[in-house]
Amino acid sequence: MTDGKVLVVGATGKVGRHVVAGLLAEGVEVRAMTTRDPAEVALPDGVEVVRGDVTAPDSLPLDGVGSVFLVWPLLSAELAPPVVDAIAKRAGRIVYLSATSAGDDEVFHTRVERLIEASEADWTFLRAGGFASNVLGWADEIRSAGVVRDAYGAAARPLIHEKDIADVAVRVLVEEGHNGAKYALTGPEVSTQSEQLRTIGEAIGRPLRWEEVSRGAARRQLLDNGWPASFADGALDYWERISRDPEPVSPHVAQVTGRPARTFREWVDDHVADFR
């Protein structure tokens, strides 16, 4: 169980805001860090909202903090060493929202994990798989034309609801027995991208269509949307791979929370207004 306040870094994000709510429900004192004006941040009553920025380690609001839920907001680990060092010296525990790829590939999550492992703090890594919320990138095409044009419609993975990631984080922060764990977090069922689109169509009551495009066309779309070339190529390589070898389902959400992970359809039902 955590001693002292929990600092939530990334408190206004998709996962962080649910971590904040879950900790409050457990009676934990929560400090939410934001790079914005705290007065402009909409979080529940009872949350201490404080300005801070990982690019300026001295700004981290760590006084009285016993544990930190850390979301690394950058696409490089270059600035991570002084941040991890500052947290480890002031807080006893770090719960880091990592990614499944950290266990296999040399990505920035891998480097952040290594820094945390080498620190003085206790730690737990939440290696999340594909976020269901990533399909919100299709929302404009769904609303305007009912057609999603992309590559690798057969790419298959068990997308996870952001609330499940948060629920695991809360349990890890309020319970004993999770130190040193590396939890792979996924949804409960594998579906392809084209199947996910069909599920959205069923929820909103409209027929939707997947239109397969070439890898080159998909790459151009990603670059036009601001993706660095290395990230675009890595993503396309991965989607091609899971078209042949789907991501496995992990049992860790159920094991940690004591209930099944939410299905993709449940995620869609929670976000149906985004697609109408």
The answer on 51 and 117 residing in a single domain is yes
The answer on 81 and 41 residing in a single domain is yes
Kindly state whether residue 180 falls inside one of the protein's structural domains. Answer: no
The answer on 119 and 136 residing in a single domain is no
So what's the pLDDT on residue 2? 60
Residue 101 has pLDDT above 90, yes or no: no
The answer on 15 and 98 residing in a single domain is yes
Residue 136 has pLDDT above 90, yes or no: yes
Residue 44 has pLDDT above 80, yes or no: yes
The answer on 10 and 120 residing in a single domain is yes
Q: What is the pLDDT of residues 119-130, one digit of tens each?
A: 999 999 999 999
- Which structural domain range is residue 84 located in? 5-128
The answer on 103 and 156 residing in a single domain is no
Closest among 162, 138, 157 to 245, alpha carbons compared: 157
For residue 94, the one-letter residue type is I
Residue 104 has pLDDT above 90, yes or no: no
Residue 103 has pLDDT above 80, yes or no: no
Query: What's the CA gap between 60 and 52, in Å, rounded?
Result: 5
Transcribe 33-59 into DSSP letters. EESS-GGG----TT-EEEE--TTSGGG
The answer on 147 and 65 residing in a single domain is no
For residue 53, the one-letter residue type is D
Alpha carbon of 242 to those of 58, 134, 155, 246, 263: distances in Å?
Answer: 41, 16, 5, 4, 19
Q: What is the pLDDT of residues 255-266, one digit of tens each?
A: 999 999 999 999
- Place 105 in a pLDDT band, splitting at 50, 70 and 90: confident
The answer on 113 and 51 residing in a single domain is yes
The answer on 90 and 154 residing in a single domain is no
Neighbours of 180 (CB within 10 A): 10
Residue 1 has pLDDT above 70, yes or no: no
> In the chain, how many domains are there?
2
So what's the pLDDT on residue 102? 87
Kindly state whether residue 104 falls inside one of the protein's structural domains. Answer: yes
Secondary structure, 3-state, 112-179? HHHHHHCCCCEEEEEEECCEHHHHHHHHHHHHHCCEEEECCCCCEECCECHHHHHHHHHHHHHCCCCC
Per-residue buried b or exposed e for 239-255, using 16+ beta carbons within 10 Å of the residue's own CB: beebbeebbebbebbee
The mean pLDDT value for 9-23 works out to 96
CA R_g for the chain: 19
The answer on 124 and 137 residing in a single domain is no
Residue 106 has pLDDT above 80, yes or no: no
Query: What's the CA gap between 103 and 216, in Å, rounded?
Result: 28
Query: What's the CA gap between 135 and 275, in Å, rounded?
Result: 10
Kindly state whether residue 167 falls inside one of the protein's structural domains. Answer: no
Structure tokens at 31: 């400090």
Q: What is the pLDDT of residues 163-182, one digit of tens each?
A: 999 999 999 999 999 999 99
Residue 220 has pLDDT above 80, yes or no: yes
* Domain CATH code at residue 95: 3.40.50.720
The answer on 229 and 122 residing in a single domain is no
Kindly state whether residue 252 falls inside one of the protein's structural domains. Answer: no
Closest among 232, 9, 263 to 19, alpha carbons compared: 9
For residue 255, the one-letter residue type is Q
